[in-house]
Amino acid sequence: MSKQYLTAHTVDQAHPADIFSLAPTPTSLLSASGSSSLLVHSTTDASFPLQQTIAAAHKLGCHHVCTARGGVGSVAASVGFGGEIKIWSSDGKEFHLEWEITPATWASNNGNGNGNGAAGGADVWAIALSADEGYLACTTSDGRIHVWDLAAREKIQTYETGARGGGSFAMAVDLSVDGRLTASGHESGAVYVFNNDAGRTVYSLSGLAKPVRAVAFSPGCKRLAAAGNAGVIALYDMEHGEHVGNLTTPSTRPAWITSLDWNETGEYLLSGSLDGKVKVWDVARGVCVATHSETEGALWSVRWLPKTERALAPGMGKGEMFCAAGASRSITFYREATGS
C-alpha cells in the first residue's frame, strides 16, 4: 500500500548556490548552502515565508547545519567550508551567534586539541546535536568523532576509528535521542557505534562496502539506518549490532543516497539521492511507499518537519510533512494527502 504526498509549496531559488543542509525546529526551517548566509523560513504558515537571513554566517559557505531532533529549537549548529563551527541560540524570534569553535580553538589547550590545527589536525565535516541541545558531535576527515559539552564549551570525548588519527574520512554522524549512542559513517564504507556513557566503541558494522554519507538512529533508538554510494539503506539492530535488512528498489545502477531522516514514530524513513528523488520507506514492510522527483539535480538534504497541532491552511490537514533541497537551490515542502 502506497502513501500519497502532495507538493505543498516550493521556495524557488531560496539560495544563490546549492543547498547542502536543512535543519527543522518546531516552528521553522534553517537552510545552508554554498553561499555565506543561513536562511530561516517559517513552517507555521502555508507560504513558508522567509523569517530571518543570517548574513555572512560562514564566509566560504556552509555544508552542514543541524538542530536537535525532538528538541525545542533553541539551539542550532553549523559548519563552514573554512573549518569553523558556529553555535546559534534562538530567543524565540531569531537566531543569534552564541559562540564559535574555530580551527585555532581546536589547536589550543582550551579546545583540548593536540596542537596540529583544526580538529586536532583534520577538517571538521558532519555534525549532530543531542536531543537536549546540550552536546554536539562532529566528525573529521581523519576519522575522529569529537563530542562537545556546549554549556561548558569544552570537548569532553574523542572517538578514534584508526590508529593515531589514521581513520577513514567520517562523512556522517548522529546521536541517539536518549543520548546513549553516537554513530558515524565513513568513506571506507565502515559504520561505527559508540557508547557515550562508557566512552568506547560498541559496534563496528558491516554491510556497506562504499562510502557512507548518512546515518540516522530511529526515535526509539532500536535501529540505525546507514546509506551512501551503494544506493542501499542498511538497517542495523542496536541491541546486538546485527545487520537486519536493506531497503532498496530494483535498479541496475542505484543512485547515491545523500540524506536520511526518520519520522517521529519510527514507522517511515525518508531518503534523498543524487538523482533528485526523495523517497518514503515503510520500514516494517521494507518497501518504498512514495517517490517524488521535483528535479533532476542532486538532493543533498531531506527532513521531516515536526507535526503541528493545527493545519497550516484550509484543506491541508495536520498530516506529516517533509522537505527537500539540493542542486536546484530551491526548497520543496510536501504534505501527506490524507492528513486530517
Write the pLDDT tens digit of every residue in 246-261. 999 887 788 999 999 9
d(CA 26, CA 306) in angstroms, rounded, equals 6
Contact 120, 165 (CB under 8 A): yes
Q: Which residues is 42 bridged to in the sheet?
A: 28
> Can you give the pLDDT at residue 84?
95
Q: Is residue 294 part of a domain?
A: yes
Mean pLDDT of 90-97: 94
Q: Which residues pair with 23 in a beta bridge?
A: 30
Query: Do 179 and 130 contact (CB within 8 A), yes or no?
Result: yes
183-210 average pLDDT score: 93
The answer to whether residue 42 sits within a structural domain is: no
Check residue 271 and give its pLDDT. Answer: 98
Q: Which residues contact 93 (CB under 8 A, 6 or more apart)?
A: none
Answer yes or no: is pLDDT of 310 > 80: no
The predicted model scores a pTM of: 0.92
- In a domain? residue 87: no
Contact 251, 274 (CB under 8 A): no
Average pLDDT over residues 261-288: 96
Long-range contacts (CB closer than 8 Å, 24 or more residues apart) made by 194-201: 194/145, 194/159, 196/147, 196/157, 199/157, 201/159, 201/161
What's the rounded mean pLDDT across residues 81-108? 89
Q: Which domain holds residue 281?
A: 5-23+105-336
Domain for residue 208, yes or no?
yes
Q: Are 289 and 1 in contact (CB under 8 A)?
A: yes
Nearest-angstrom CA–CA distance, 176 and 216? 8
Residue with cell 510536501: 334
Question: Quick check: is 118 in a domain?
Answer: yes
Helices (H) then strands (E): counts for the chain: 1, 28
Task: Give 124-182 pLDDT, tens digit per residue.
Answer: 999 999 999 999 999 999 999 999 999 999 999 999 998 776 789 999 999 999 989 99
Question: The domain that contains 277 carries what CATH number?
Answer: 2.130.10.10
Mean pLDDT of the chain: 90
Cell of 31: 537552510
| Among 102, 74, 70, 101, residue whose Cα is nearest residue 88 | 74
Instruction: Look at residue 316 in the predicted model and tell me its pLDDT.
Output: 59
C-alpha–C-alpha distance, residues 233 and 212, integer Å: 10
Q: Is the per-residue pLDDT at 219 higher than 80?
A: yes
β-bridge partners, 41: 29, 50
pLDDT of residue 206: 82
Grid cell at residue 287: 518497501
Residue with the three cell numbers 528538541: 71
Contact present, 302 and 293 (Cβ < 8 Å): no
What's the number of domains the chain is made of? 1
Q: What is the pLDDT of residues 113-136, one digit of tens each?
A: 433 344 444 689 999 999 999 999
Q: How far is 95 from 80, CA to CA, in rounded Å?
A: 17
Question: From CA 299, how far away is CA 295, in angstroms rounded?
Answer: 8
Confidence of residue 300 (pLDDT cuts 50, 70, 90): very high
Q: With CA atoms as reference, report the closest residue to 182 among 166, 160, 167.
A: 160
pLDDT higher than 50, residue 340: no
Does residue 9 fall inside a structural domain? yes
Handedness of CA 210, 262, 174, 271 (dihedral sign): positive
For residue 237, how many other CB atoms are within 10 A of its CB?
14
Q: How far is CA 56 from the centre of its chain?
A: 22
Question: Considering the domain boundaries, does residue 79 fall inside one?
Answer: no
Measured CA angle at 298 (ends 32, 321), to 5 deg: 65
Nearest to 325 by CA among 17, 72, 55, 25: 17
Identify whether 321 is part of a domain. Answer: yes
- pLDDT classification of 309: cutoffs 50, 70, 90: low
